[in-house]
């Protein structure tokens, strides 16, 4: 325990890096699993080969994302022990069963049926293959459920009692259905849906820009735009409800998100500022008068909590670091707004021109926004997770009390190792998606073998694109 502070900070950075890398891939697989099921069901219903082509294209990206999610998820499960032994020692009685249920009800289901979904189409009856696709999607969503339950419980813990500093479960119903769980779950599922919708729209737009005339690319562009346009208003609504829930249970987090220092009525909605934690004020503030009060309390005179309420008498801050929460929240909201504008514009253009004749400018915009879901998800994740600090489990376990006593040098060297690998893998991952898209655009992607029911669409796929 030579440098406890450094170990703490480095462990936080390491965990942050690992979970940031990890969350990218479930964010894709959660919704993409259901999208694949949709493509498969469309194919089953219409026998149009474009749906099978879409399935074949996106199942590759699903498989790749899934593998990335699995391997980085295993890392997470070990990190509890290597870096945060205090977490399991204190709240293991609650966290343990939730994680165990995730492994048992979700992991095995996904892993086993993924093998059948990816490689079993020629070995099982078609309905079994469709069922395997469903079970993988279902398993992925189950997995999300358990993880969100645990994460939400860490934000809004209930249904337990403390004995000698250790958490004992008293009411599993209350633990699972803790106050922030429904909001968080809906917010995450919608985030995944949006991420996938923009990824599909963006990659399809790229294919069209590269001269791909395949029916499947047009259909998936249309699919992505419609889903995105449908989900984004729901997400804004869900985000608002989630914010109100956070206000009730974690007011310090909301104060940091709003960049509000003093509790009071008529609090402005700060659009931009540089929060200064030492001076305890905002620099260069641009705000909408009464905005925060109206959003959070639905009236201008609504009293909104301020950060200065969360400072102990000895000066210890009981609120998170303001700037990261403040800025990541704004990045999330701004990305969401861009999603709203682009998807609704896209919807309009879709009605006007159709997917095949879409002008190039919006296609470029969709291509550029391919990974906007990642940006918004990460920003949202930082908002909520940094916003929980200094607590690991709100009011129960402080982050600093959970950290392991391994040396700072050890944490630093492994951190560098992880970062190098993650950077290389992200690079390779995006590279492969682009490669697959380019290959498809050049017409080199083989038409789905074994599904030759509709001859003419087949020809369309085979045409060289450029």
Partner 1 sequence: MDLFSDPAIWLPWTFAALMGLSILMYVILDGFDLGVGLLVPLAEDEDKDLLVASIGPFWDANETWLVLAIGLLLVAFPTAHGIILSALYLPVFVMLVGLILRGVSFEFRAKAPASQKPRWNVAFFVGSLMASMSQGFMLGMYVMGLTWTLPHVAFALLTAVFLTVGYSFIGAAWLIAKTSGELQKRAVGWAKRGIWGLILGIAAISMATPYVSARIYEKWFSMPEMLYLSPLPLLSAAMVLYLLWQIKRLPQDNDRSAWGPFMAAMALFVLAFGGMAYSFYPYVVPEQITIYEAASAPESLLIILIGTLFVLPAILGYTILSYSIFRGKATELRYD
Region 372-431 residues binding partner 1, contact defined as CB under 8 A: 404-406, 410, 414, 417-418, 421, 425, 428, 431
- Contacts with partner 1 by CB under 8 A: the residue count is 72
Q: Is 105 in the site for partner 1 (CB under 8 A)?
A: yes
280: left (phi over 0), alpha (psi -120 to 50) or beta: left
* Closer by beta carbon to partner 1, 123 or else 283: 123
- Residue 335 near residue 281, CB atoms below 8 Å: no
> Coil, strand or helix: which one is 201?
helix
- Residue ranges in 136-195 that form contacts with partner 1 under rule CB under 8 A: 168-169, 172
- Residue ranges in 438-457 that form contacts with partner 1 under rule CB under 8 A: 448-451
Q: Is 337 in the site for partner 1 (CB under 8 A)?
A: no
Beta strands 281-288 and 269-276, pairing class: antiparallel
Total Cβ atoms within 10 A of residue 142: 18
* Closer by beta carbon to partner 1, 81 or else 354: 81
Dist. CA 411–CA 250, nearest whole Å: 30
Q: Is 67 in the site for partner 1 (CB under 8 A)?
A: yes
H/E element, 79 = helix 49-83
- Shortest reach from residue 123's CB to partner 1, in Å: 5
In 3D space, the residue among 297, 302, 430 whose CA is nearest the CA of residue 374 turns out to be 430
- Shortest reach from residue 173's CB to partner 1, in Å: 12
- Shortest reach from residue 59's CB to partner 1, in Å: 6
In 3D space, the residue among 163, 248, 198, 183 whose CA is nearest the CA of residue 367 turns out to be 198
Which residue of 8, 28, 32, 99 would you call a contact of partner 1, by CB under 8 A? 99
- Shortest reach from residue 431's CB to partner 1, in Å: 7
Q: Is 63 in the site for partner 1 (CB under 8 A)?
A: yes
- Residue 153 near residue 178, CB atoms below 8 Å: yes
| Part in contact with partner 1 (CB under 8 A); list of ranges 105-113, 228-236, 306-314, 354-362 | 105-113
| Part in contact with partner 1 (CB under 8 A); list of ranges 43-51, 88-96, 226-234, 343-351 | 88-96
* Strand residues in 259-363 grouped as ranges (E): 269-276, 281-288
At 366, list the tokens. Answer: 């969709």
* Closer by beta carbon to partner 1, 167 or else 322: 167
* Closer by beta carbon to partner 1, 341 or else 446: 446
The residues near 342 (Cβ < 8 Å, ≥ 6 apart) are 228, 362, 365, 366, 369
In sequence order, what are the beta bridge partners of 398? 391
- Considering all CA atoms of the chain, what is the largest pairwise distance in Å, rounded to the nearest integer? 77
What's the distance, CA 339 to chain centroid?
15
- Shortest reach from residue 29's CB to partner 1, in Å: 12
Q: Is 216 in the site for partner 1 (CB under 8 A)?
A: no
- Shortest reach from residue 456's CB to partner 1, in Å: 20
Q: What are phi and psi of 126, to 5 degrees?
A: -55, -40
* Closer by beta carbon to partner 1, 86 or else 305: 86
Dist. CA 244–CA 220, nearest whole Å: 35
* Closer by beta carbon to partner 1, 118 or else 331: 118
Which residue of 116, 269, 270, 294 would you call a contact of partner 1, by CB under 8 A? 116
- Shortest reach from residue 39's CB to partner 1, in Å: 13
- Shortest reach from residue 121's CB to partner 1, in Å: 5
466 preceded by a cis bond (ω within 30 of 0) = no
- Shortest reach from residue 184's CB to partner 1, in Å: 22
């Amino acid at each position: 325990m030579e440098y406890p502070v450094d170990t703490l900070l480095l462990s936080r950075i390491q965990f942050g890096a690992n979970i940031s890398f990890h969350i990218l891939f479930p964010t894709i697989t959660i919704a993409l699993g259901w999208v694949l099921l949709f493509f498969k069901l469309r194919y089953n219903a219409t026998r149009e080969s474009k749906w099978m082509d879409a399935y074949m294209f996106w199942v590759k990206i699903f498989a790749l994302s899934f593998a990335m999610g699995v391997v980085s998820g295993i890392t997470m499960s070990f990190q509890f022990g290597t870096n945060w032994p205090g977490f399991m020692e204190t709240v293991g009685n609650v966290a343990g069963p939730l994680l165990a249920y995730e492994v048992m009800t979700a992991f095995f289901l996904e892993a086993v049926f993924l093998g059948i979904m990816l490689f079993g189409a020629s070995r099982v009856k078609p309905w079994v293959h469709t069922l395997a696709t469903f079970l993988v999607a279902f398993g992925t969503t189950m997995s999300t459920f358990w993880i969100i339950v645990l994460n939400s419980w860490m934000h809004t813990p209930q249904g337990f009692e403390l004995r000698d500093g250790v958490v004992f479960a008293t009411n599993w119903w209350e633990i699972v259905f803790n106050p922030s769980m429904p909001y968080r779950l809906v917010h995450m599922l919608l985030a995944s849906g949006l991420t996938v919708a923009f990824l599909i729209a963006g990659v399809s737009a790229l294919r069209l820009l590269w001269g791909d005339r395949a029916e499947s690319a047009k259909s998936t562009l249309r699919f992505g735009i419609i889903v995105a346009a449908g989900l984004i208003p729901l997400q804004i609504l869900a985000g608002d409800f989630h914010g109100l829930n956070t206000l009730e249970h974690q007011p310090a987090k909301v104060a940091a998100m709003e960049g509000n220092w003093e509790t009071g009525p008529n609090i402005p909605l700060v659009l931009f500022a540089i929060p200064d934690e030492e001076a305890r004020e905002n620099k260069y503030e641009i705000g909408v008068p009464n905005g925060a009060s109206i959003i959070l309390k639905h009236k201008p005179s609504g009293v909104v909590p301020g950060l200065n309420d969360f400072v102990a008498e000895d000066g210890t801050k009981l609120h998170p670091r303001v700037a990261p929460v403040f800025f990541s929240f704004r990045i999330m909201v701004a990305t969401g707004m861009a999603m709203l504008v682009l998807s609704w514009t896209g919807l309009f253009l879709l009605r006007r021109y159709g997917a095949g004749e879409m002008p190039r400018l919006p296609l470029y915009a969709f291509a550029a926004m391919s990974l906007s879901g990642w940006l918004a998800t990460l920003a949202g994740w930082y908002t909520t997770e940094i916003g929980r600090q200094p607590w690991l489990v709100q009011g129960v376990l402080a982050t600093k009390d959970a950290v392991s006593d391994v040396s700072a040098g050890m944490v630093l060297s492994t951190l560098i190792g992880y970062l190098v690998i993650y950077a290389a893998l992200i690079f390779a991952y995006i590279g492969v998606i682009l490669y697959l898209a380019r290959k498809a655009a050049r017409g080199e992607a083989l038409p789905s073998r074994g599904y030759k029911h509709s001859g003419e669409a087949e020809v369309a796929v085979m045409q060289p694109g450029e």
